Structure formats: C-alpha cells, structure tokens
C-alpha cells in the first residue's frame, strides 16, 4: 500500500483526490488545510491525521521520514500561487508530488522545480485529466486531415464569494485564463500541436474570449463565470461545449471520474505527466496574461 499526504483538504477538488487514492487501493495518512471543514475525510480515510497549520504538517511528515515511515506521494490541492512552494515541501520530505493544475503561474518556476527534482531524485506529476478522456483520446488518434476548426465554450457560474476568494485574485490564481483555461489549453496543444499565436477579443474579470492558432487548428474559446452567458433554460452547474469541424465532442465524463485514471497511470512505471508536459500551457497563459494585462 502506498502512503499519501494531502495539502488542501477543504477545497472543491480535494474529494476527487481522496476518491482516487481510495480507489487505487492506497492510504491517506495526513492532510492539512487552513480551514477545518474537512468532514469529507471521514468518508474516505477516517484515521487520517489532520492539521490546520502547514508548519505542524511539515514537522509531522519530517518525523515520519526520520522514523522510516515517510510518505510516498504528496498530493497538492492548494491555491495556485502556493503550488511551487508545496511541491518543494513534498520533495524535501522524500515524496514524489501529484499537483493540481496549473502546476505554477510563471514559466521560470518550472525551471526551478526541475532543479529540485534533480537535487532530490523525486518527480512532480501534474493533473492533466483531459488527456485521459476517452472521447479526446479518440479524437487525438483519429485527427481529421488538414486544419481543424475548434470551438470551446466553458461557462461555470460563480457567485460573489468567487471574487472575494483567492480565485478572484489574479495575483494568486492567474485569473480566469489560468484558473479555468489551463486544462483546456493543455488539451488543445496535446491534440493539435504547438501554439503559433493568439488574440483576445473580450477580457474582463469574469469573461475571456479569443482565438489560439495551433499547428493543426484554429481554436476559438470562451471562458466565463458569468451566469448571464448560459444558454436559455440551461440549469446545470457548468456549460461545456467543444466542437471540431462543427462536430460536438461529448464531455460527460470530464471532471468527475478522471482523477482515478490519472492516479492509476502515475502508479505505473513510466506513467503520468511531468513538468515538461505541463510547460507549454503554462507558457501560453502567461504570455496571454502579460500581453493583455489579465
């Protein structure tokens, strides 16, 4: 059995990581979050140690390491701007790291993390779950010839809390183009090749709309937290639409079942996606933020 620890146990995405650890037959020994609303732990790992201070969590992991009981993996679900520091923490206590996207906010941090990987002999994996989606795998394997026309709409309504949280602070989240768009841009470059250019037509705190030009596609995108942009009568929690040459791609399984697939792949010899795989999309959203001051 492989032992995990988790940073960010009270957040929206954390239960997917708990579920993935459980479903792959492994154990969560410790978790930390500044918020203590983490009763969800009881549904997966009722004996998991819990901390509200990162310093005490760090000390506990160091103690386990000294006793020869160190964790094998540290899973990171903390705010985006802390990913870099928490990756370092994990490698320092002798663990490989599984980090939510975006891995980091700035490309230079990737190079720095690569150095820590070399120094420690540990590896960082990024959660790029769209690369495991069966419909997208099928598209990649059977890509139409010539240039493709891609249209992406991702509208996920958020209330006033969003702007007041770290997600609404561009310095901490990277804004919508990063916080919401990073996995979509990763998917686009994974399937359609390198980005050749981009343009943003609409940009504010809640909506970004534009086009990315790729080796094999022209991809129009609309990302928004504005409920006013939802199709009339649409009542789900989020609207996701991807078409390629006007043909829709079914995205029913996108954000609910794929984390277990990611974890299973990471456990395999040579599996998972590392920092070099995450780098192109991080560079792209950074360039967009810098050019348009998002």
Look at residue 76 in the predicted model and tell me its pLDDT. Answer: 98
Phi and psi, residue 169, nearest 5°: -100, 110
Q: Taking the domain 130-254+284-292, which CATH number applies?
A: 3.30.360.10
Look at residue 256 in the predicted model and tell me its pLDDT. Answer: 57
Which positions of the chain have pLDDT values less than 70? 252-256, 294
Burial of 161 (0-12, 13-18, 19+ CB in 10 A): exposed
Look at residue 251 in the predicted model and tell me its pLDDT. Answer: 77
> Rg of the chain over CA atoms, in angstroms?
19
Report the predicted TM-score, pTM, of the whole model to 2 decimal places: 0.95
Look at residue 105 in the predicted model and tell me its pLDDT. Answer: 97
Question: CATH for 3-126, among 3.40.50.720, 3.40.50.300, 3.30.70.20, 3.40.630.180?
Answer: 3.40.50.720
Look at residue 110 in the predicted model and tell me its pLDDT. Answer: 96
Which tens digit of pLDDT belongs to each residue from 188-235? 999 999 999 999 999 888 999 999 999 999 999 999 999 989 888 777
Burial of 213 (0-12, 13-18, 19+ CB in 10 A): middle
Whole-angstrom distance, CA of residue 182 vs CA of residue 101: 7
In this structure, the chain runs to a length of: 294
Q: At what angle do helices 83-92 and 107-120 cross, to 10 degrees?
A: 0
Look at residue 252 in the predicted model and tell me its pLDDT. Answer: 66
List every span in the chain annotated with CATH 3.30.360.10.
Answer: 130-254+284-292
Look at residue 254 in the predicted model and tell me its pLDDT. Answer: 54
């Amino acid at each position: 059995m492989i032992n995990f620890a988790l940073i960010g146990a009270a957040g929206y995405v954390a239960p997917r990581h708990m579920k993935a650890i459980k479903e792959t037959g492994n154990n969560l020994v410790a978790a930390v979050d500044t918020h203590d609303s983490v009763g969800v732990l009881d549904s997966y790992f009722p004996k998991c140690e819990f901390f509200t201070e990162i310093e005490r969590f760090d000390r506990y992991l160091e103690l386990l390491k000294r006793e020869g009981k160190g964790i094998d993996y540290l899973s990171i679900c903390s705010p985006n701007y802390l990913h870099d520091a928490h990756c370092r923490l994990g490698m320092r206590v002798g663990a490989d790291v599984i980090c939510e996207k975006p891995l980091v906010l700035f490309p230079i941090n990737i190079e720095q993390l690569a150095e820590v990987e070399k120094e420690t002999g540990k590896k960082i994996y990024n959660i790029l779950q769209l690369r495991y989606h069966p419909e997208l795998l099928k598209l990649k394997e059977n890509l139409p010839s010539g240039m493709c026309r891609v249209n992406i709409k991702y509208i996920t309504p958020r209330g006033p809390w969003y702007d007041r949280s770290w997600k609404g602070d561009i310095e901490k989240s990277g804004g919508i183009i990063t916080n919401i768009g990073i996995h979509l841009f990763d998917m686009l470059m994974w399937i359609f090749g390198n980005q050749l250019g981009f343009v943003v037509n609409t940009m504010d705190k809640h909506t970004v709309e534009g086009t990315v030009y790729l080796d094999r596609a022209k991809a129009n995108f609309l990302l928004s937290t504005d409920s006013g942009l939802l199709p009339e009568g649409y009542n789900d929690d989020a609207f996701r639409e991807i078409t390629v040459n006007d043909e829709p791609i079914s995205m029913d399984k996108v954000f609910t079942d794929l984390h277990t697939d990611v974890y299973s792949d990471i456990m395999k010899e040579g599996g998972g996606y590392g920092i070099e795989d995450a780098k192109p999309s991080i560079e792209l959203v950074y360039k967009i933020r810098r050019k348009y001051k998002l």
